[in-house]
Structures are given as C-alpha cells and as structure tokens.
Structure 1
Amino acid sequence: MMNELVQRLSQGNHPVEVSLRPKKTATALKERIDLGYIHIKFTNTQGGTELGVRLDPNACDWSQTDFDRPAGTIHLVGHLTLNYVKVKCIADVDLQTLEGQGHLEPIEPVSPAVIS
C-alpha cells in the first residue's frame, strides 16, 4: 500500500502556491531559486502540505518569465523525501499570483513505511 499523502499528490494536478517569508514577491522567489531551494505548499490538503524542494536547475524553466514586472509562468522541478518516499515535485506557477498547479512523482518503487 502506497503512502496515502504521496499517492494523493501523485494523482493529477493540485493547487499549489510558493511559500515565501517574510514577503511573498516575485523578487523573493528569484532569490530562493538562486539558492536552489524553495517551499511549495499544496493547498488542498488538510491544513496544507508545505514541502521543501531542492530544485533541479536543468529541469526548471524560467525562460518565459519576467521577475521584474512580474509576468509569465515558471516551471519548477525538484526533489525531496516525503514520508520516507523519494519524490519529484513538479509545479507550474504564475509569477503574478505565485500560485498554480503541481503534483508529485514517486522516484522509486513505493512501499509502506515500516515503523518499529
């Protein structure tokens, strides 16, 4: 049986937003991208699920974005471990609202977590 949260977030696209503190701006997002690490929040889970994602710069695409205006859509791809499952997080985010759609893809065969 696959981990329930990983399974749910791996099926179809889900509403997401980029979590930025203290200010939620395109400039703050660009700073996080330059550091190679962002937080993506899946907003349709109970209380929201915020994930720290290490970006894969070769898989991301910000060529259609203008961080100064801000305008365009940014394609973010990164990796993390959620509930002992290695996953890829893929999100397309509108630079004006910093919201969009995303999903997870398990990287390895998923087995139930063993708790001893």
Structure 2
Amino acid sequence: MDELIERLSVEGQKVVVGGPSPSVEDFQRRITEMGYVFIKFPDSRGGTDLGVRVDEAATDLGKADFANGTGSVHIDGTLTLNTVKVRCVTDIELSSLSGTGHLVALEEAVTR
C-alpha cells in the first residue's frame, strides 16, 4: 500500500476543513451545493489537503447547526490519492472546523 495512504488510514487522526478560505458558511455550501469539500490532515508531513467528493448517502448533517456554527457533521466521500481510490471518513465540529478522520483504501495502486 502507498506509504501516505497507509499513514492516513490510521483512525482518529486530526483533520481540519481545508481550502482557500475555510468558514462554516463555505463548508456548508460546499457540502450541500457543490458536493465537494477540502479536508486537511495537518499532522502529515507538510499537511495533506484533499479534495473529497461528498457521498450524500453516507454523510450525516443531522447534528449540525450551520446557522449558529455549532454541532458536528459526518463527512464521507471519495477521491483518488497517488493513483489509489480511497474513501475519506471524517467527523468535524463546526465550532472549530476540526475533528478526526482517516482514509480507507478502496483498491490497490494502479501501476502503469
């Protein structure tokens, strides 16, 4: 397995909402309108900022109060990292735009 994916596959890692200007409003818009969010693993070497396609069926916004910036969201989505399809699983607190998460490899690396 790819070294980076293996490291990010350990459950309970620190994650933060990434992207150019993280805010509760932007995070909500990206989840509900765009279906694409940025999740950053800040403790990896230099930080790893990933673009994640939100899986609506596996994402839970039921504990979120976006208007007041409180509660939490469970974001589950997919991406390709270093030629490997992975699932990104995170729980984010809106008050801090941070939480925990990990990756799950969906396939082995594609060799060319």
TM-score range relative to shorter protein: over 0.9
CA RMSD in angstroms comes to 1.3
In the alignment, does 2:97 pair up with 1:88? no
1:15 is matched with which residue? 14
1:12 Cα deviation from its structure 2 partner:
2.2
Q: TM-score, normalised by structure 1?
A: 0.90
Deviation at 1:46, TM superposition (A): 1.0
Q: How does 1:49-60 map to 2 (within 5 A)?
A: 49-60=48-59
Partner of 1:61: 60
The answer as to 2:23 corresponding to 1:25 is yes
**Greater Rg, structure 1 or structure 2?**
1
The alignment covers a number of residue pairs equal to 111
Comparing both structures, which one devotes a greater share of its residues to strand? 2
Which amino acid letter does the alignment assign opposite residue 71 of structure 1? Answer: T
Q: Which contiguous aligned blocks of 4+ residues in structure 1 show a shift greater than 3 angstroms?
A: none
TM-score by length of 2: 0.93
User: 5+ residue gaps in structure 1?
Assistant: none
